[in-house]
Structure formats: C-alpha cells, structure tokens
Amino acid sequence: MTAPASCVRRVPAFPPHLFIANDVPMSHSALPKPATARRSKALSGDIRIPGDKSISHRSFMFGGLASGETRITGLLEGEDVINTGRAMQAMGAKIAKDGDVWVIQGTGNGCLLQPEAPLDFGNAGTGARLTMGLVGAYAMRTTFIGDASLSKRPMGRVLNPLREMGVQVDASEGDRLPLTLRGPKVAAPIIYRVPMASAQVKSAVLLAGLNTPGITTVIEPVMTRDHTEKMLQGFGANLSVETDKDNVRHIRIEGRGKLTGQTIDVPGDPSSTAFPLVAALLVPGSDVTIRNVLMNPTRTGLILTLQEMGANIEILEPRLAGGEDVADLRVRASELTGVNVPAARAPSMIDEYPVLAVAASFARGETVMNGLEELRVKESDRLSAVANGLKANGVDCTEGTETLSVRGRPDGKGIGGGTVETHLDHRIAMSFLVMGLAAERPVTVDDSTMIATSFPEFMAMMTGMGAEISEDSVPA
Ligand code: S3P
C-alpha cells in the first residue's frame, strides 16, 4: 500500500519508555475477585470523576489520526481506553504521557499503517466498533480480538454498512470476533440510515467516511450521543449536521480532508458519576459534591429521571468547557418515588439503567423502564443480568422483552443477601455494590476486576466517601 503524499513520514521520536508502557493495564486479571458492599453510614465528600469514556476513546483515535500534535488532559486511563491507544500506536500513531498530559503525534488522515498483530480491544465495544469503521476504508488487513464478553457481542451492525462500502469481512459465526477486515483500494461513499439507536454504528460509518472519497451520509432517526460529530468538527473535518422537520438528523462528512491535532480537556464521565450519585441518594444522611461532570444533553437522561423521582440533585455552576456543557452536582439523600421512564429517553441514559434499577429498588411504588432492547447487546445481556441480580437480592421486579418494572422498598427491608452474576460487565458490578450500601443485608458481586475497564478509581473513591465495600464474599 502506498500512503498519500500528505502522510506524516517523520514523527518526532519519543523515548520508548514514554509510549503506553506495559505496566499500564491492558486487560483485567483472569482470576475473578468477588466484592461485597454493606449498609453504610452517611456518605460525604467532594469528588472528581475520571474522564468520559466515549470522549477518551475518540481523543486517542482522532489524535492518532490527525496531523501534528494532540494534547489530552483528563483522559480516562481505564483498560478500554488504553486498548484503543495501543491500537492507534500499532497503526503508526506516537503516544506518550508527559506528566498529566497525553501527547499524541498523529499519522495524518489516510495514513494509518497496517498493524502487524491482531488488535486486542479487551472488553470494549466502543473501541472495537469505532476502530472497525476507522480502518475499514483502508486497503489493508486488520484483525480484531477481544475478551469473552466482547467476543459474544454482535458486530454485524457495523460490518453491514462497511460491506456496502466495499470492505471484505472474515468474521466468526454470527459476525462476531475474532474477525478480519480487508478494505478496498478505494471505498465507496454510502448513504446509511442507522437501523437502531447506536452512537457506535453512526460513528463507525462516519469514521469510514474519513478515508473515502466524496460525501458519506449517515441518517440518524433517533439522536444518540454526538461526540463523534462535535469532535471531528473540532479536528477540522468537513462535517455538517442537518435536522429535518421530522427530527431526523442527516450527518454528512467529506472524505480525505485534513485533520489537525487539538488540545482536549476531557470532562468527567456522567455514566461513572451515576454510581456515587445514586449511592448518595440512597444512603440516609449523605451529602456529596461531584465536580466537572459532562452535561451534554445526549447523556443526562438519568439525572432527569432521578429528579422526576424526587432526587435532590443541585446543578451548580453550569458552564461550557471545550465545547461541552459541564457542571458540578451536589447530591443529598432523598426519598424516591417510582416513575414511568419513556422509551424515547433511552439513548440519553442507555448505560445508566442498571443503576437506575437499583435506585428504583428503594423507591416508593413502581418504576417502569421502556425501550430497553439495546440493553441485551451490551457487555452482558444487561436486562437479564439486572433482573436476575434484583431477584437474587429480594427485589420484586418483572423482566419484559424490552421493559423492566421494579417495585421498590423505601426502607430497604428484605433487600440484599444475594450474590450477583456480573458476566464480565463493569456496570452490573458497580450497580449492585451501590445496592449493598443501602440494603438491609450485604450484597456480593461474583467479580469486580472488570470495573477497571471504565472506572479504575471506583473502590477507592467510594470507600473514601464512607462506603463499606471490601474485596471479599460474604460467607454462606
Ligand atoms: C458509546 C455508545 C453506546 C454506549 C457505549 C459508548 C459510544 O453504545 O452504550 O457505552 O461511545 O459511542 P451503542 O452505540 O451500542 O448504544
């Protein structure tokens, strides 16, 4: 493959020890480590949540692709994001850490190199699916592998539009990992209507459009998180978004343009914020302030829902930082009441249903969550995993094909005493540890190692606020 003349051929040499070093975790321990949470006294603290996972993945990807230098502060150093950084390194980006700043010298758009070994994305659907889009339009061979959870997840949703663009796919049964992509000499631009509400699918097609001549169009009937659009515009891509009279978004990207390195300060992850936030609502007497939380409206469905349930969440100092809405949140223990959560809200809180179900377990009356079909294809079948975890801990709930109804106990009586199967899903583990802090009896999760994929500081941050969580299992 010959690279376009615009490709950066000489990148400043970093000392090798500054590259993502091998002591930065790549994949969590193979041995499961159970953990148990017990009823706790009032939580208190003033905390700063690690960087947003979606923005962190994209920062490594777009910085690795853009010409020149990208500097990132606040990056989430979870295993998922580190795996994305390693993949970009394997395709020619130079990545180093200088104090608190990640510094990237990108290859230039159109200039990724064929990786010598399979790219291992561990547990990360976002890293794997977006990178498939990114490399799909390159005339090279790229192999994708991942852990047991990722290897079960459907990739057809991304592979189908890539096939339309001319990419050859050699995948395991059911379009799953391990799989190998072989891009065409020149990819064909497509107009693609995203069939499910998925930011990953939208993003994969747009990223394939970056190295495709002409205009690639994504039609998005239901708006999902818009970090790809906003960040690509920030890096200089010619990308436009038009919303038609039916509220359908038409996103157009012109391929083969120049991307230029940027300075990025990653705001705190609202999906990680959800755990200490719900813990503070449920543990009587708690008062916790959470700083620098991303408040992009495509991500704030949980806060809205909890406020409707009666949660005392004060939004302090709403401001703009790096083109994103951010704010500090003051959260005080609250009595919650069940609500009906409309299906239309699902995209803005898709990762937060497990912890919302925990909040609902302590609310007066019934909470009904609708439009949950996408939960079935997350790190686990989250709808079943949540319902089974609730049942194992004495919570009255009903699992529908795409709904979950939870009937709560405001005093926490009768809740707890069970062990939850996490199925390698970080959000299942963290949600049920939050449950144990307010339940009558302890709650154990069968494994906690995979929490490091998205929130390595979780245990220390929670125990620092007074949460009683320990790495053990309750004796039978
Ligand atoms: C993500 C999109 C969502 C979300 C995931 C991160 C992203 O997945 O669940 O944690 O960064 O684009 P889907 O696009 O599959 O809904």
In a domain, 45, yes or no: no
User: Closest by alpha carbon to 223, among 309, 296, 286?
Assistant: 296
In a domain, 9, yes or no: no
CA dist 311 and 336 (Å) reads 6
Retrieve residue 57's tokens: 């993945």
Based on the fold, state whether residues 318 and 443 are members of the same structural domain. yes
Q: Is the CB of 203 under 6 A from ligand 1?
A: yes
Ligand 1 atom nearest 200 alpha carbon: 14
374 Cα: distance to centroid of ligand 1 (angstroms): 10
CA dist 338 and 340 (Å) reads 7
Retrieve residue 442's tokens: 């302890």
Best residue for ligand 1 mutational test, from 201, 225, 373 (most atoms within 8 Å of Cβ): 225
The Cβ of residue 183 has, within 10 Å, a number of other Cβ atoms equal to 24
First-residue to last-residue Cα distance in the chain: 61
Best residue for ligand 1 mutational test, from 53, 149, 198 (most atoms within 8 Å of Cβ): 198
The backbone torsions φ and ψ at residue 191, rounded to the nearest 5 degrees and listed phi first, read -110, 115
* pLDDT value at residue 18: 38
41 Cα: distance to centroid of ligand 1 (angstroms): 34
Ligand 1 atom nearest 57 alpha carbon: 11
CA dist 382 and 75 (Å) reads 26
Q: Is the CB of 220 under 6 A from ligand 1?
A: no
Based on the fold, state whether residues 252 and 287 are members of the same structural domain. no
**Which of 230, 265, 300 is the last residue before a domain boundary?**
265
Number of domains in the chain: 2
The CATH number assigned to the domain holding 137 equals 3.65.10.10
Q: Is 23 a catalytic residue?
A: no
Q: Is the CB of 200 under 6 A from ligand 1?
A: yes
Q: Is the CB of 348 under 6 A from ligand 1?
A: no
Retrieve residue 436's tokens: 């144990």
Q: Is the CB of 67 under 6 A from ligand 1?
A: no
Q: Is the CB of 453 under 6 A from ligand 1?
A: no
Based on the fold, state whether residues 75 and 204 are members of the same structural domain. yes
Q: Is the CB of 198 under 6 A from ligand 1?
A: yes
* pLDDT value at residue 406: 98
Based on the fold, state whether residues 258 and 277 are members of the same structural domain. no
- The helix or strand, by DSSP H or E, that contains position 215, with its residue range, turns out to be strand 215-220
Coil, helix or strand at residue 180: strand
**Which of 265, 281, 298 is the last residue before a domain boundary?**
265
Range of the domain at 168: 53-265
In a domain, 394, yes or no: yes
Catalytic residue among 226, 351, 425, 447: 351
- The helix or strand, by DSSP H or E, that contains position 250, with its residue range, turns out to be strand 249-254
Based on the fold, state whether residues 259 and 369 are members of the same structural domain. no
Based on the fold, state whether residues 343 and 466 are members of the same structural domain. yes
Q: Is the CB of 126 under 6 A from ligand 1?
A: yes
Please identify every stretch of the chain with a pLDDT value under 50, giving residue numbers as ranges. Answer: 1, 10-18, 26, 475-476
411 Cα: distance to centroid of ligand 1 (angstroms): 34
Based on the fold, state whether residues 250 and 274 are members of the same structural domain. no
